[in-house]
Structure 1
Amino acid sequence: MCEKLRKVNSWLGAVFGDQPVPPFEVNTRTVDILYQMAQSSEARCSDTALLIEDYKQKTSEYQADAAHFEDVLLQGVGLSGASLSKPTADYLSALVDNAMVLGVKDTSLTSFMPAINNLTGDLLEVEKSNRKLERELRALQKRLGSTLVLRGNLQEDIDKTTKSQAVESAKAEERLLNMDFVTAKAQELSIRQQRSEAQLVSRNMDKSITHQAIVQLSEEVGALQNEIIPLKKKLEPYMDLSPSPSLAQVKIEEAKRELASLDSKLETKVDFK
């Protein structure tokens, strides 16, 4: 652990430089974590140093190649960077920039054409992907429109249902109030009926003049009247007979007695009523 702690302290000192290292709790877990960070940092720094050295070497090579090409141009055709006109220098600069963007090794036509073809192919693929995305976007917009319409219809149905429920709730509440009123009224009438019956009992009221008895008596009177009707029909044929025949007279007398008996019963019932 002591070796790890020395390495951690050395690494922290290199990281913070002139600034003081912030205090931290020294324990096994903390030292292990900082030791791993130190190792990772040193590995990255080593890789970065190697990459920088590689870039420096390539820069030197490019500079040497540029100097060589300048010598070739100067000695072969008598051209130098200072002798080029501004348009020519601009064209060469644009050519170099295009070569760097395309990532070609030189500015020859055989290097530019494959790179341009590759970019053209990438462009076609991107356009194809864009058209596909546009179709998907239109389909999504269409579905979104249908969804919004459906949402509006559902919201309208919900509003109608809410209003209907409010109306039905008010009606139900009103019916409950009416039911409570009717129940209270029925209880009140029942109590009044019991009190009236108790008063009638206390006054020794004749049950024969109660409503129920009168209704029953009326039904009996109606039944007797219905019995008289066929007897009267039986007498009708004898009404036209001559009074001289003894047999007809007997039948008439019997019918009259039966009719008188029924009339007497009827009168008795009516008088009793």
Structure 2
Amino acid sequence: MDIKHREVVQWLEEVYGNDQIPPYEKSERSINILHQLMTVSKCSEKNAKLLAADYATKTAEYNAEGKQISKWLDSVNIKPSILLKEGQQGLTAFATSAQVLDVHIPTSTNIILAANQLEMEHMQTVNEQEQERGRMCQLLELNKDVAMKIDEIRSIHKQAEATWNQQQEVLGKDKKQEYYVKEKRKDYISDMNYYEAKLNQVGMTKNIMHSALSKQWAQLKEVEQQVSSLEMKLKSYNLPPDMTLAEVKVEEARQKLAALMSDMAAACKEPCYEDKND
């Protein structure tokens, strides 16, 4: 006897109890059919037991609720059987009010106290709601102020960014100008070196520069003034103290003047270059 057949036999014994099990075919097909019936029967029986237990629990709850309602009716001396339809409706409303107010003993005093308590809770809730509404208004005002501040900060940021861009443009122009000045300075230095080399090639010396010639010209003017002064002084003498000495001095001055004039003429014939220091 296999396991399925053994389970079928046990099930049949449980079903028939002390009665004799009816004869049945003991083939594999019939055993499988009986085993399937056994599985379905046990599942249905289990569900039926659960449903019966639930019905029993609900019955106990309904009985307890009925007893509680009976206590409530006894406390107010009311019997449902003596009430008309309107009275039953009023009683139902009364019971509903008691349930809403969470009154365990539905007397008029308890219901009034519960209603007053509910009214106080309602007023407190309304007060809290008003306070919450006030806080919400304050939060909205604060939110508006914050939004305005954020807009101002964004505007300042945009202005600062625009100013920074302008400064960067000016800085770029200054850098370009600085680079241009440096390049021009390099060109000027290169030109100066080039022309100095050219002047050195043609034999330019410091004594033929404009500053040296100007100095010689000033010296010549000074000598001429001295000669003129000496001539005027000689003319003022009626009898010179020593004619030979006077003639010698005059001749020296004339020779010196002639030499200076000769140097000046020679210098004027040569090409004149201005001194770079002037």
- Relative to the length of structure 2, the TM-score reads 0.51
Determine the structure 2 residue equivalent to 1:4. Answer: none
Alignment pair present for 1:263 and 2:257: yes
Q: Give the 3 Å change call, closer, same or farther, for CA 115–194 of structure 1 in structure 2.
A: same
User: Residue 22 of structure 1 corresponds to which residue in structure 2?
Assistant: none
Q: What's the counterpart of residue 224 of structure 1?
A: 219
Counterpart CA distance in 1 for 2:61 and 2:224 is 141
Equivalent residue letter for 1:79: L
Match in the other structure for 1:189: 191
Between the aligned partners of 1:54 and 1:197, the Cα distance in structure 2 is 130
Output the CA distance in 2 between the equivalents of 1:98 and 1:156.
70
Q: Retained in 1: the 8 A contact 2:103–2:114? A: yes
Maintained 8 Å contact 1:104/1:111: yes
Aligned residue number for residue 8 of structure 1 = none
1:169 aligned to 159, 168, 172, which one?
Answer: 172
Q: How does 1:1-273 map to 2 (within 5 A)?
A: 60-66=63-69, 72-74=77-79, 78-80=82-84, 82-83=85-86, 92=93, 96=96, 100=100, 103-105=102-104, 106=106, 108-177=111-180, 179-180=182-183, 183=186, 185-186=187-188, 189=191, 192-193=194-195, 196=198, 200=201, 205=202, 207=203, 210=204, 212-215=206-209, 216-225=211-220, 227-228=222-223, 231=226, 238=233, 244=238, 246=240, 260=254, 263-273=257-267
CA distance in 1, matches of 2:240, 2:83: 176
Output the CA distance in 1 between the equivalents of 2:98 and 2:266. 134
Distance in 2 of aligned mates of 1:254 and 1:58: 165
1:111 Cα offset (Å): 1.1
SS in 1 for 2:238: coil
The percent of aligned pairs where both chains have the same amino acid is: 9
C-alpha distance in 2 between matches for 1:238 and 1:59: 163
Deviations 1:47-86 (A, max 9, x none): xxxxxx999866653343335656854469x434x33598
The gaps in structure 1 that reach 5 residues or longer are 1-52
SS at match of 2:86: coil
Amino acid at match of 1:218: L
The 1-side partners of 2:112 and 2:215 are apart by 132
Contact 1:104–1:115 (CA under 8 A) maintained in structure 2: no
Larger Cα-atom Rg:
2
**Structure 1 position 133, deviation (Å):** 3.9
User: Quick one: distance in 1 between partners of 2:259 and 2:57?
Assistant: 144
1:211 and 1:158 mapped to 2: Cα distance?
61
